[in-house]
Structure 1
Amino acid sequence: MQKALVLGASGGMGYSIVKELSSRGIMVTAFARTREKLEKLFADDPNITIYTGDVFRIDDLDGAANGVDTIFQSANIPYVEWEEKLPIMMSNILQTAEKHSAKLAIVDNIYAYGRSVGEKTSETTVKNPHTKKGRIRLEVENLVKKSNIPALIAHFPDFYGPNAENTILNYTLLNIVKDKSSSFVGNQSISREFIYTPDGARAMVSLSLQEKAYGQSWNIPGFGTISGDEIVETVREITGYQKGVSTVSKNMIRFLGLFNRQMREVVEMFYLNEEPIVLNGEKYENFIGPIPRTSYREGLRQTIEYMKQTQ
């Protein structure tokens, strides 16, 4: 890989992918809508070129993809726009990849798998989405598979990490860093899986450098499972935080949904807090080697340190 394009470079996983590519000496075009944020994140890195644009404008994508051999798709849009716009966005990206003869590495979540089958979810687990957003993700995945583009799809659990702002753990950590009372989404006694974004980026870039990884899906798990109680206790030990952390229940989100369309969309995904999906990473380990796994304690420490420096 000589030059890569990262879409959604100002988001949590996009940011970490850009940093990982640059650390390996690969030239990167960091693409997002807001120049100010891109400059704040990447202006001091000579391996990174900033490109502002809109994934819904083919001309913007075309200009950004000039001379690249791999496109990393980590851009996302609000839930309320998924049904109408997510397939259009992917079609634009596929068209751009085809025009520039570029490979495609796609950041994906676990929604298309549907409910947990009671064991670790592998790439051979049948995708049986029971939510609208799960069905949309599967539709987009099928668009990719029907194309002629060499593409790999990486499924991740929920993110946390530097610059990973639109995540449920960031929602909790933000007030803790400000030393305010905070909240945790879901039952704090239930253990679930999260991935530290630099680990996910490292795994994805390693896959993208292997020709045989394309044309396949890959599950990238985190550092095992952890409960909300354990997260809060770990954060207290790291920071000395002593204020209360309340629980945000499904009914609370449902009530907010009466006034906020985005919250209405969040409700159907709440099952992930009640019936967590845990990913099986054996396929990756057999192909690449050990999955990068930063302990939750260290990952939370580094995330909090980043938040303190940038708030």
Structure 2
Amino acid sequence: MIYENNANSAENDRPLALVLGVNGGVGGQVSRMLQQRGWRVRAMTRRKAASHITGDVEFVVGDAMSGQDVLKAAQGVRLIVHAVNPPGYRDWEKQVLPMLDNTIAAAESCGARIIFPGTIYNFGSDAFPLLSEESPQKPFTRKGALRVEMERRLKLASMRGVPVLIVRAGDFFGPDARNNWFSQMLVRPGRPVRSVQNPSARHAGHQWAYLPDVAETIGRLLDRADELPAFAVYHMEGFWDFDGLQLIEAIERVVGHPVKRRRLSWTGIKMVAPFVPLFREVLEMQYLWQMPIRMSNRKLTDFLGSEPKTPIDIAVATTLAGLGCLDERPQLSNLAHPADAEGRA
């Protein structure tokens, strides 16, 4: 049942996309990107949409765990964005595969392409430190094994005629995105930044992905959809924090003063993990902060010519403003755009 419809009710020839997970960071940004490219967007949610979801979006009530709900919501669409996760990351292993199976079945039924945001979790230490799309996938975590299985099912679907586009990226951050390391560990949404909690081991580099850049990358690939293979996989480079301190220094430049730097207590997380499901998930990802791991974007840039990259200070300022961590919105034109160690702005 449709409970809110901001879209023009008149029929038109613009393509229609279904976004699953529109209230999340990836889904919300991809929804915006699609609208900017002339797509109509339908979003299936369990609850009313978050306030930051604006524009011509048709909202329908449904549960990604219900195949019938997804199939009904997918009627007439040419694209399904699978950006949905279990609520609160609970029962991950029980829900992620059934939800994906429902998306695949709906895509097969309506002839839609599937967009799937990928992660670094697929890979194990045998593939570190530089990952390509062809690197062996031998994960040593539960979440990593599930990611591999999800992509295996998507590849099988592509062999049955469902086009699939996977874009893998580092840890997400961005405005209106609150379920990520940046907003849950580094800073506290709704509060001025006085201190930063750093999960990285000393001198361990880390890869970040600014969500508007992720969405724009997906958009540019979709612009050339006719040239994509049935199963297309691309890696983004994003922002490479070569020593685990560059993102914190960007935060300091944006807020205009030094911040207290604290190391995340992994020992403390280990102690409470048996009692807090979220911390169990966090603990499983500790290895990603202990060593430098990054993705090569050579395949992406060979195809597109370049990767969309917002200067890091602007990305951080926009994110902090969106999270309510700045007293006033900064003048982006006044921010410095320092290059990283390899000379990229």
TM-score of the two chains, using structure 2 as the length reference: 0.82
Deviation at 1:186, TM superposition (A): 3.0
Q: How does 1:125-140 map to 2 (within 5 A)?
A: 125-140=135-150
**Separation (CA, whole Å) in 1 of partners of 2:306 and 2:107:** 30
State the match for 1:295 in structure 2: 311
Distance 1:165 1:134, change over 3 A: same
Query: Alignment partner for residue 212 of structure 1, among 227, 250, 260?
Result: 227
Q: Which stretch of structure 1 is more off in the superposition, 150-159 or 241-250?
A: 241-250
| 1:105–1:208 CA contact under 8 A, matched in 2 | no
Structure 1 runs not aligned, ≥5 long: none
Q: Percent same amino acid at aligned positions?
A: 27
2:314 counterpart letter in structure 1: E
Query: Alignment partner for residue 73 of structure 1, among 75, 82, 85?
Result: 82
1:185 aligns with 2:199: yes
State the match for 1:256 in structure 2: 272
State the match for 1:307 in structure 2: 323
Q: How does 1:22-41 map to 2 (within 5 A)?
A: 22-37=35-50, 40-41=51-52
Query: Alignment partner for residue 99 of structure 1, among 71, 85, 109?
Result: 109
**Separation (CA, whole Å) in 1 of partners of 2:296 and 2:310:** 17
Deviation at 1:164, TM superposition (A): 1.5
State the match for 1:197 in structure 2: 211
Distance 1:141 1:191, change over 3 A: same
- Secondary structure in structure 2 of the residue aligned to 1:308: coil
Size of the aligned set, in residue pairs, is 307
Q: Deviations over 1:238-285 (max 9, x none)?
A: 113555231113222111213213312321211000123211111111
**Separation (CA, whole Å) in 1 of partners of 2:193 and 2:105:** 47
| 1:181–1:245 CA contact under 8 A, matched in 2 | yes
Q: Radius of gyration: which is bigger?
A: 2
- Secondary structure in structure 2 of the residue aligned to 1:251: helix
Q: Which stretch of structure 1 is more off in the superposition, 202-211 or 114-123?
A: 114-123
- Secondary structure in structure 1 of the residue aligned to 2:188: helix
Q: Which stretch of structure 1 is more off in the superposition, 165-174 or 221-230?
A: 221-230
Structure 2 runs not aligned, ≥5 long: 1-13, 328-345
Query: Alignment partner for residue 280 of structure 1, among 283, 296, 304?
Result: 296
Distance 1:310 1:233, change over 3 A: closer
| 2:205–2:291 CA contact under 8 A, matched in 1 | no
| 1:35–1:51 CA contact under 8 A, matched in 2 | no
Q: Deviations over 1:5-62 (max 9, x none)?
A: 111111111111011111112111123222141xx2234x13x222232101122212
- Secondary structure in structure 1 of the residue aligned to 2:165: strand
Distance 1:255 1:272, change over 3 A: same
| 1:66–1:100 CA contact under 8 A, matched in 2 | yes
Higher relative contact order (CA 8 A, sep 6+): 1
RMSD between superposed Cα atoms in Å: 2.2
**Separation (CA, whole Å) in 2 of partners of 1:176 and 1:234:** 19
Q: Deviations over 1:129-183 (max 9, x none)?
A: 1111111111111111112221122111110011221111112232584345442
State the match for 2:10 in structure 1: none
| 1:159–1:196 CA contact under 8 A, matched in 2 | yes
State the match for 1:88 in structure 2: 98
Q: Which stretch of structure 1 is more off in the superposition, 214-223 or 97-106?
A: 214-223
| 2:174–2:316 CA contact under 8 A, matched in 1 | yes
1:86 counterpart letter in structure 2: V
1:64 aligns with 2:73: yes
| 2:235–2:296 CA contact under 8 A, matched in 1 | yes
Q: Which stretch of structure 1 is more off in the superposition, 77-86 or 48-57?
A: 77-86
Q: Which has the higher helix share?
A: 1
1:279 counterpart letter in structure 2: M
| 1:179–1:241 CA contact under 8 A, matched in 2 | no
**Separation (CA, whole Å) in 2 of partners of 1:243 and 1:221:** 27
Distance 1:99 1:222, change over 3 A: same
State the match for 2:338 in structure 1: none
1:245 counterpart letter in structure 2: R
Q: Deviations over 1:76-98 (max 9, x none)?
A: 12444222221111111101111
